[in-house]
């Protein structure tokens, strides 16, 4: 259902009239016509859990002398459109030559 402002716009445009918003509002009140107000959607995201962080064992020492000595990873979470499913993408990186392992 439209409110008096949008109702005024549609009436004036479709019927080539020049009615004021106050007039449309008064007529809608007399006819007991009300607009329906949409509720705001609540977001259903989950906060990050602090107990899922790993211990920092590298301490920013990213130099390696041989392959497969130090690997790093990062996890990214994607939402599947039109679904409640989520997908995780994880990449493993070898710090020796910066190649992707898996």
Give residue-wise pLDDT tens across range 58-99.
788 888 888 888 888 888 888 888 888 888 888 888 888 888
Q: What does the pLDDT read at residue 9?
A: 93
Measured distance between the N- and C-terminal CA atoms of the chain, rounded to whole angstroms: 54
Classify each residue of 62-88 as buried b or exposed e, where b means 16 or more C-beta atoms within 10 Å of its C-beta: eeeeeeeebeeeeeeeeeeeeeeeeee
Q: How many domains does the chain have?
A: 2
16 in a domain, yes or no? yes
Give residue-wise pLDDT tens across range 6-53.
999 999 999 999 999 999 999 999 999 888 887 877 766 666 655 667
Q: Which domain holds residue 6?
A: 1-38
Q: What does the pLDDT read at residue 63?
A: 82
54 in a domain, yes or no? no
48 in a domain, yes or no? no
Which residue is listed with tokens 């009436």? 11
Contact present, 74 and 92 (Cβ < 8 Å) = no
pTM, two decimal places: 0.41
88 in a domain, yes or no? yes
């Amino acid at each position: 259902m439209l409110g008096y402002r949008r109702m005024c716009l549609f009436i004036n445009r479709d019927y080539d009239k020049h009615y004021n918003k106050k007039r449309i509002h008064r007529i809608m009140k007399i006819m007991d016509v009300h607009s329906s107000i949409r509720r705001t959607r609540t977001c259903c995201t989950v906060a990050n859990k602090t107990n899922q962080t790993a211990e920092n064992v590298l301490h920013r020492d990213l130099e390696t002398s041989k392959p497969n000595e130090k690997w790093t990873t990062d996890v990214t979470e994607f939402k599947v459109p039109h679904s409640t499913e989520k997908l995780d993408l994880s990449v493993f990186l070898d710090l020796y030559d910066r190649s992707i392992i898996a």
